[in-house]
Amino acid sequence: MTSSDSDSEDTLPAGFTRREAHVNGTTLSYLTGGEGPPLVLLHGWPQTALAWRHVLTPLARLGFTVLAPDLRGLGRSARATSGYDKDTQADDLRALLESLRLRRDDVRLVGHDIGGMVAFAYARRFPDTVERLVLAELAVPGLGLEQAMDVARGGRWHFGLFMTPQVPELLLSGHEHAFFTWWFAHLAGAPDAIGEADVTAVTHAYSGTESLRCGFAHYRTLLVDGQVNRTWYESGGRLAMPVLAIGGELGAGTRLADAVRPAVPGVTAAVVPRTGHFLAEESPAEFLGLLSPFLSDTGKPQKESLP
């Protein structure tokens, strides 16, 4: 576990450093800062841990050891050849906490987009260790994602393309910046909500066939991820810890909470006004206003007992 010299001090939020951990057969790069019980932030696609940069320092000041890893294969993490199913990535996170000798029975998770799918898998697999769970702007495999990706019924087109082996790499390689400029403009609440510098940083992180392959590998396991979650749910699985489901008013809204409620009876819905898909970057103050009381145990009751 070593500090990286590839980030200059002025590119990281105050009090945060970048480190590496060799865990679960791969190498994860992560940002860390603060002291206290672990708070893990899991980013989405096409992003890296720096998607959380506006909220890292305020969350650390709440009294947490904040960890924001680059997900398997993304950002500065190793370009893994496999292991992109969400259960394996939950194991990545478990192994990261173990390597840092942090408490594993008092974990708070915040997951956005693909990172939310990993967070859900972690909470499902290790429910007694998760104190609070926040899901932001996603559809959970097996609990709403299949409807969201059904193009014939108005679902989003990109899932099928990204899940197809080799094709999206062939189409996007060499055109990454143009595509990501379009992507952020269409999913954000306003076309210019994500600035050129941020688009350029994402382009750098995802450029080239191998980096693109790793990004799309997160999509290529979604049918398996959904089957795992559905099997768990159909066999009586439920999440009992407090769960906050956040959507942007111009994004998922309350659809996420509505979709997961059968498996998460105590879920609380929240909406960030005038915001699209990228909550932590478009509206960090409003996003923090929802996260802070919930993560600090002042926003919801304690874990419920489920029958």
Closest CA to 273 of 253, 299, 298, 293: 253
Q: Check if 70 is active-site.
A: no
What's 31's DSSP letter?
E
Closest CA to 53 of 7, 11, 105: 11
Q: Check if 22 is active-site.
A: no
Question: pLDDT tens-digit profile of 32-55?
Answer: 999 999 999 999 999 999 999 999
* Annotated active-site residue in 70, 87, 113, 225: 113
Q: Check if 277 is active-site.
A: yes
- For position 298, what pLDDT does the model report? 62
- Do 157 and 187 touch, CB atoms closer than 8 A? no
Question: pLDDT tens-digit profile of 117-131?
Answer: 999 999 999 999 999
> Within its chain, how far is the Cα of 212 from the centroid?
18
Question: pLDDT tens-digit profile of 147-192?
Answer: 999 999 999 999 999 999 999 999 999 999 999 999 999 999 999 9
In this prediction the pTM is: 0.94
- For position 307, what pLDDT does the model report? 41
* Annotated active-site residue in 112, 219, 225, 233: 219
* Annotated active-site residue in 43, 112, 218, 277: 277
Can you tell me the distance from the alpha carbon of 157 to that of 168, in angstroms, rounded to the nearest whole number? 13
Above 50 in pLDDT, residue 288? yes
Residue 7 banded pLDDT, cuts 50, 70, 90: very low
- Do 72 and 92 touch, CB atoms closer than 8 A? yes
Domains in the chain, CATH or no CATH each: 9-152+224-295 (3.40.50.1820)
Question: pLDDT tens-digit profile of 204-253?
Answer: 999 999 999 999 999 999 999 999 999 999 999 999 999 999 999 999 99
Q: Strand order of the sheet with strand 107-112? A: 17-23, 26-33, 65-69, 38-42, 107-112, 130-136, 243-248, 268-272
